[in-house]
Every structure is written in C-alpha cells, then in structure tokens.
Amino acid sequence: MARREAKARRAERALAVLTELGEHYPLRCGLTHADPLQLLVATILSAQATDESVNRCTPALFARYPDAEAYADAQPEELQGYINSIGLFRNKAKHIRGAAALLVSDYGGEVPATMDDLLRLPGVARKTANVVLGTAFGLAEGVVVDTHVLRVSYRLGFTTETNPVKIERDLMALWPRDWWIGGSHALIWHGRKLCVARKPKCAICPVLALCPRIGVED
C-alpha cells in the first residue's frame, strides 16, 4: 500500500511539473523544418550540436536537397560543405546519404512513421526516431531523451538512472502518455533556459516548489 501511494504521489507531482512547464515553454521542437524529411535530417545533424547551430545551416541545405533522391545522389564533399560548421559533419553526411538511399529504395522516398522502420535508417537511434514520430507524425511511441532531458529529469526526481534507454523507460512509466511528446519538449526548453548544467537558475524556476533538490520529497 505504501509503495502504491508513493508511486501515485510521484505521478501526481510529475504531472504538476509538466503542466507548469507547459505554461512557460512552447511544447514544440526547436529544429526548424517544413516536413518529415527535413526534420529527420535536422535531427541527425543535431547529435552533439545545438539546435541553433543546426538551424543556421539547414536553410541552404534544404534548398539544395529538396527530397530524399537529392540527398541519396549528393556528392559527399558537396553535402559536407553545407554542414561543415557542425561537429562530426563527415559522419553525419554519410548517415544522411545512407538514410536517404534507404528511403528511396524501400519507402518510396518518404519518411516512415513506425519505430521499427525508422531504426533501420543509418544515423537513427531511439532519440531521433522519437523526435520524428512525435513531432512530424504526432505519434507518442516513446520519450525523447537528450542531454537536457537526462539532466532535468534526474534533478526533478523523475528517474535515478543515467542511461538514456532506462531514463526513457522510467519517464514512460511515470508520465501520462499524452505528455510523452510535449513533456520532452518542456524539459528540453527548461534545460536550455533555466535548469542549465553548471549553475541552474533556481531562484526564477517556475517549478521550484516541486523540485526535490529544494526539499520536496516523494
């Protein structure tokens, strides 16, 4: 009984946190895109890079390569030239070309809308697949766990894990499913704006009263 009540309290607090953060941040992806393919490419580029750096290079990239066929046929050196301001750009260019080639050969040039199909694409792991499924298709198949979600979910007591796969499992169990998409966006924005890595701005945090770091316990 005590364990069930503690679990219910944790779920209640988590929902309160998500609801409050949802009032302060846009529940949307920070990567600029116009269609699922652009989002897929931008998300591949965002690994170990900021959304701002990706958004600076993608307008010219998207104009040059309007569809999967264009990416699949791209000359590696030319494609790299559009993204060389981003870390690991050579490997990311290889992944983009490989993913596009598979889209053309197996999916009619369209981005698939299932986890299993997305995970077949080079450069796509669960985080990228969850971004595409949630943002492009509105499908809540999991929770995006990037560095911000990892840090903020730990600080807020949503998980004690450090492995992204285990963190995603914990968040999926704790959050209502209709928050799986928006909740990750809320934590990402919060991690960028206030709950930053080195010195979180706790004094102006909208969920200060709900944070275990300040004294609230489950």
Segment 198-211 shows an average pLDDT of 94
Single pTM value for the model: 0.91
pLDDT at residue 176, rounded to an integer? 96
Condensed to tens digits (0 to 9), the pLDDT of residues 6-38 reads 788 889 999 999 999 999 999 999 999 999 999
- Catalytically active residues, by annotation: 127, 146
What is the three-state SS of the chain?
CHHHHHHHHHHHHHHHHHHHHHHHCCCCCCCCCCCHHHHHHHHHHCCCCCHHHHHHHHHHHHHHCCCHHHHHCCCHHHHHHHHCCCCCHHHHHHHHHHHHHHHHHHHCCCCCCCHHHHCCCCCCCHHHHHHHHHHHHCCCCCCCCCHHHHHHHHHCCCCCCCCHHHHHHHHHHHCCHHHHHHHHHHHHHHHHHCCCCCCCCHHHCCCHHHCHHHCCCC
Condensed to tens digits (0 to 9), the pLDDT of residues 162-187 reads 999 999 999 999 999 999 999 999 99
Condensed to tens digits (0 to 9), the pLDDT of residues 120-165 reads 999 999 999 999 999 999 999 999 999 999 999 999 999 999 999 9
Domains of the chain plus CATH, in order, are: 2-28+143-214 (1.10.1670.10), 36-137 (1.10.340.30)
pLDDT at residue 1, rounded to an integer? 63
Question: Does the pLDDT value for residue 218 go beyond 50?
Answer: no
